[in-house]
Amino acid sequence: MTIQTRQSLVLETPAASPEQTHRHYMNKLAVETDVADVRYDMQHGLNDFLLIDVRSEKAFTECHIPGAISLPSREISAETTAEFDKEQTIVVYCWGPACNGATKGAARLSGLGFKVKEMLGGMEYWRKEGNEVEGTLGEAAPIVG
């Protein structure tokens, strides 16, 4: 008779040291922000960052976050960002958690020498949290692309 012992899948790989864990999460916070933090800063006049919607121009025109500018991720280049201030942090967003457009945009912008944070949740969670939008369709716009 064989006795099976169960092994924890959680503990199969040992946890990192507190120092490694702290460094990991601080590094993560250095490149990410979320909808609530962006909204808070905007409400309190603390938006010293440039907010860029990296979705298509059509999606932006239909519905976007007030104050955002449109720069689709595929169009990010030295030429299209020539007037941006490299000292100003840029916050990018796309459709939502299932979209990697903001990740691509952040990669392109950081490759050009900009400080960038990705807004987790994107437009989907901006709207789910009841925040204001503007555009030709506004609230009637599709929530995902």
Longest Cα–Cα distance in the chain? 74
Domain residues for the domain of 42 are 35-133
- Report if residue 39 sits inside a domain: yes
- Report if residue 22 sits inside a domain: no
Domain CATH number, residue 75: 3.40.250.10
- Report if residue 63 sits inside a domain: yes
Decide if pLDDT at 2 tops 70.
no
Given the DSSP bridges, would you call strands 116-120 and 69-70 parallel, antiparallel or unpaired?
unpaired
The 8-class DSSP code of residue 82 comes to T
pLDDT, averaged across the chain:
95
Note the pLDDT of residue 4: 73
Helix ranges (DSSP H) in 13-121:
18-31, 35-43, 57-62, 101-111
Decide if pLDDT at 5 tops 90.
no
pTM of the full structure: 0.90
Per-residue model confidence as pLDDT tens digits over 77-134: 999 999 999 999 999 999 999 999 999 999 999 999 999 999 999 999 999 999 999 9
- Report if residue 142 sits inside a domain: no
